[in-house]
Homo-oligomer: A and B are copies of this chain.
Amino acid sequence: MPAVGRTEIIATIGLITAGIIGYRGYTGEELQKLLARHPRVSAVLIDQAAKTQAASAAAESLTTKARQAARQAMSQAGRRSFPNPPVRLARDVLAGPPLDVVFLATPPEASVEWVPRFLRQGSRAIDLSSAFRIASPDTFARWYGTAHPCPEWLAEAVYGLTEVYRGRIATARLVANPGCYATAAALALRPLERHGLIDKASLVVCDAKTGVSGAGNKATQATHFCSVDENYSVYGTMNHRHVAEIVATTEIPEERFCFSTQLMPLRRGIMACLYFRLREGADAAGIEGAYLADYENDPFIALYPEGSFPSVASVSHTNFCCIGYSVTQPGNRAIVVAVIDNLVKGASGQAVQNMNAMFGFPETEGLP
């Protein structure tokens, strides 16, 4: 795998080349910001739209025009005060020497088209879509209602929940970045299930809420300000596709898992509220122990003392996953609350964390 040899060189020169395809959405923008501040990465934006020579020229001219506008405005500052990466057409990128890594902030339909191309060229890939998250083609077909278009690549994909799979991520050519809900829920539930703390007969409920950026930047009736403001709504339940990721990572049987997804009237953040019964004899100290055992050295997991819970704002603009818990008698009833920023730990931040793991950089490098 050429990427490995490349990693060795990187360890010496400390600089890799990265591309972002699908850079106009919220996760793509967040990736630009993170990579612009990352000391070991030189980034380029990859424009997937233009495919012919003419379109290529047009794109270049548009880019030039945009630069002039930017100059004319002296800076335009604001949210884009970081240095803008250059824009290249995908066909040109694919024709040149391979980038070390390509981030795909594209819909799954586009990811299945572009991932194989970049992998064949010799780049490693981190896909932020849902295209490669389910290891088994059969399971994929059941949840997505269609056969996977390139199952030969599924086997190679490593699920990018960094805290859990960083060993395999380090040598992966293709990393499937987890869903935002799945990140919060699986990080909170996996240690408890793995250490045998959850009653095997208990329902495990995950009541999960997201900010509006989780719905993407497409303008729809659902994302209209007047639909969201002063409102709160349920938009997905047990059949939400993230359930497949959560049950695969936690090994909690699907038939015991309850899930719903809700839209909060705020911009960014995810909270997963988890409810279940502990097995007899388990207690709050056991919960703390399981988390410490699994995450003791993890820089982005923060555990709250029993009985206090993190709020969504406490992780805003960070790559942290904060977890709080409490246990109530009678009945050994437990509640666990996990929060992340959906655009950072739930998407682009974890993607950068995975890149750090893939290239042997410190895992916190370039992350807020």
Contacts and interface: CB of A to CB of B under 8 A. Distances in A.
Given A232-B209, A335-B260, A318 B226 contact: no
A13 interface: no
B333 A238 contact: yes
Contacts of A301: 74
Contacts of A232: 209, 264, 266, 269, 271, 311-313
B337 A234 contact: yes
A230 B81 contact: no
A234 B309 contact: yes
B203 A202 contact: yes
A315 B78 contact: yes
A267 interface: yes
A76 B302 contact: yes
Nearest to A309: B234
Given A205-B275, A309-B234, A77 B266 contact: no
B76 A304 contact: yes
A6 B211 CA distance: 49
Contacts of A202: 203
A311 B205 contact: no
A135 interface: no
A224 B258 CA distance: 31
Interface in A237-294: 237-239, 254-258, 260, 262, 264-269, 271, 273, 275-277
17 contacts: A76-B302, A78-B313, A78-B315, A79-B313, A203-B203, A217-B221, A217-B224, A225-B225, A225-B228, A229-B265, A229-B267, A232-B264, A232-B311, A234-B311, A254-B331, A255-B331, A260-B273
Interface of A: 26, 69, 72-79, 81, 201-203, 205, 207, 209, 212-213, 217, 219-221, 223-234, 237-239, 254-258, 260, 262, 264-269, 271, 273, 275-277, 301-305, 308-316, 318, 320, 322, 324, 326, 328, 330-331, 333, 335, 337, 368
